[in-house]
Amino acid sequence: MQQRDSDQAHLLDRVQHHVDLIYRTNPLSVNLDSLATSLLELMRLDPAAAPPPQYVNHWSQRDAIAITYGDSILREGEKPLVTLKRFFDQHSEGLLTGVHILPFCPWSSDDGFSVLDYSSVNEALGTWDDVEAIAGSYDLMADLVINHCSARSLWFQNFLKGETPGKGYFFTASPEDDLSQVVRPRTSELLREVETSEGTRYVWCTFSHDQVDLDFRNPEVLKQFVSIVRHYLDNGVRIFRLDAVAFLWKVAGTTSLNLEETHEVVRLLRTLVEHAVPGALLITETNIPNQQNLSYFGNSNEAHCIYNFSLPPLLVNTLVTGNCQHLKMWMMSMPPAQNGTAYFNFIASHDGIGLRPAEGLLSDAELTSLVETMGQFGGHVSYRALEDGQSKPYEINISLFDALQGTTSGPDEWGVERFVCAHAIMLGLEGIPGIYIHSLLGTRNDYDRVENAGHYRAINRHQWDDEALESVLSREDSSHAQVFARIKALLAIRREQAAFHPNATQFTLHLGDAVFGFWRQSMDRRQSVFCISNISNAAIPLALSDINLIGTDDWVDLISGTHYHGRDEVIDVHPYQTVWITNLEGHSGAL
């Protein structure tokens, strides 16, 4: 009841409520009244503003987001952000409504996620004008690297010297503290010893010693990030990816993961962002077990969207084993996203295929088999540290195209079909699709980049030469051209179907272990789409009576254009073929 009252209050009261919950047990002295006022001033918001409409879906089936680094495509003599925009303008044919540009600020390591200066654009990529140009044509998604920043940043150098801004900005602990329960995704030492103007300190480093965790117990850190959010909004950013946000708040003696203060910071940022720019969104990047990930929806008052992290490992496992049992069981357990929230679906990213989100869904033996299978196709494995000092596979580093070039039995001739099948499944699911640029292009493992970069994640961070890319896309016999054309064809179909709205009804079908199927129904109940994929390397007969088609309706496969006129028909679904069977009466687009 307290939260409901807060939701109806004027903005100042709501922000006051958030900061009270964040800092009520804070060991540092905080003037909560002045803090709430300062945050509103930084965001240039009216303290008396009424709350915006709740539970509004700011998306539709027409939305699809491309995920890319700013320099994924290079052209001599041209800034990469300019090259990137021209590529999407020329080739996306209006099918991509948004672009997620991975960190474009100056950085010192981790390909952008060790930020030196949040207020600037990396000169090697372009300028704020180039960023705004992309934002003028696409919904721009940007990373708010909120948990940590570079050890070479001005903030950290000032921390060492006891100067501002930076003094008190970084989280410190003692080697004597109980840190045994801390959960983190790396095997490096958690604490880094540094010499400061006040003596030896031990700074907390969740990810690497060049990425030092910020201390949000200090409200000056919160104010800095609210100021950054305002700056990004002013430059056209409309979707904020809260990077590694689950690790934000730390307390010795706990896991320091998903703490209540972290959730409240997300609620605060949502309140500020949705008042500043109606339709601006927060997406939480929390590569953690499934149930913990779901918690970032809150009561429809935290993230607008959450990354569907369990989808990539489960879908890859399904396609290399030819068995969809685990994928079905997981999907049946997923609650439908409430209005005002949505899943952000992806099956490949700049990182690897995360394994933590599959824990509890796949057995240790199945995870081991998946890791070994990916090794056959050139993949590597990154590890995380356990409480007992041991290490455990954290993610598989491989391009998705190579990951799907065979099965547990080894490579085969079905690689392209299997790869397209993976995307057809994702594009049919409840949620907003995000497609990594190297999946759009069918990019292969980049072993040279791994060697040059010195880390495994570089295997899926290839940089295309613009002329070479245009050349392969112009050749019909190129797997890159085939993949790009077929994914765009699926996007073109998807955007015309009301049943593919991110919040439309979804039910799992039970058609055996080798056929993965689900049913989508539009919110006005006029259109149904039966999404059925053969996830094996053998043709499978499918009786239309098995999916309960209404016999009086006419039905059509949106992908092939084949018409069906009765429940008694039996169709052969080819290896890795997907059919999207819809009722013609509810179908809203042209075939």
pLDDT digits (tens, 9 = 90+) for 5-57: 455 578 999 999 999 999 988 766 678 889 999 999 999 999 999 888 889 99
Decide if 240 contacts 144 (C-beta within 8 A). yes
Is 295 in a helix, a strand, or coil? helix
What pLDDT sits at residue 341? 97
**Cα maximum dimension of the chain:** 81
**Ramachandran bin of 244, using left for φ above 0, alpha for ψ from -120 to 50, beta for the remaining angles:** left
pLDDT digit string, tens, across residues 558-571: 999 999 877 788 99
Instruction: Give tens-digit pLDDT for 412-456.
Output: 999 999 999 999 999 999 999 999 999 999 999 999 999 999 999
Mean pLDDT of 510-521: 97
SS3 content of the chain, % helix, strand, coil (to 5): 35, 20, 45
Which residue ranges make up the annotated binding site for substrate?
110, 148, 241-243, 350-351, 457
Which H, E and C letters describe 223-252, residue by residue? HHHHHHHHHHHHCCEEEEEEECHHHCCCCC
- Structure tokens of 239? 């979707």
Tell how far CA 409 is from the center of its chain.
30
Q: Judge residue 240's burial from the number of C-beta atoms within 10 Å of its C-beta, 0-12 exposed, 13-18 middle, 19 or more buried.
A: buried
Question: Is residue 98 within 8 Å of residue 63, measured between CB atoms?
Answer: yes
CA-CA distance, 341 to 432, in Å (whole number)?
10
Pairing of strands 148-150, 211-213: antiparallel
CA atoms within 13 A on the CB side of 525: 0
Is residue 249 within 8 Å of 262, Cβ to Cβ? yes
Report how far residue 467's alpha carbon sits from residue 473's, in angstroms, rounded to the nearest whole number: 10
Alpha-carbon torsion 355, 356, 360, 361, what sign?
A: negative
Closest CA to 125 of 68, 87, 79, 72: 79
Model pLDDT, residue 551: 61
Integer CA distances (angstroms), 210 to 196, 203, 249, 433, 542, in order: 16, 11, 19, 32, 55
* Catalytic, out of 243, 402, 446, 557: 243
Backbone phi, psi, residue 239, to 5°? -130, 125
Judge whether 209 and 151 are in contact, CB under 8 Å: yes
- Residues forming the annotated binding site? 110, 148, 241-243, 350-351, 457
- Respond yes or no: is residue 243 known to be catalytic: yes
Q: Which domains does the chain have, with CATH numbers?
A: 65-98+313-495 (3.20.20.80), 500-583 (2.60.40.1180)
In the structure, what pLDDT confidence band is assigned to residue 588 with cuts at 50, 70 and 90? low
Dump pLDDT digits (tens) for 329-358: 999 999 999 999 999 999 999 999 999 999
- Predicted local confidence at residue 3, as pLDDT: 43
> Mean pLDDT, to the nearest integer, of 368-390?
89
Neighbours of 584 (CB within 10 A): 13
SS3 category, 107: strand
- The long-range contacts involving 189-193, CB below 8 angstroms and separated by at least 24 positions, are 192/151
| 283: nearest Cα among 428, 146, 135, 390 | 146
Distance CA 54, CA 274 (A): 10
Q: Which pLDDT tens digit goes with each residue over 119-149?
A: 999 999 999 999 999 999 999 999 999 999 9
Q: Which residue has the tokens 């009301």?
A: 498
Element (H, E) at 150: strand 148-150
pLDDT of the residue at 94: 93
Question: Cβ-count burial of 5 within 10 angstroms (0-12 exposed, 13-18 middle, 19+ buried)?
Answer: exposed
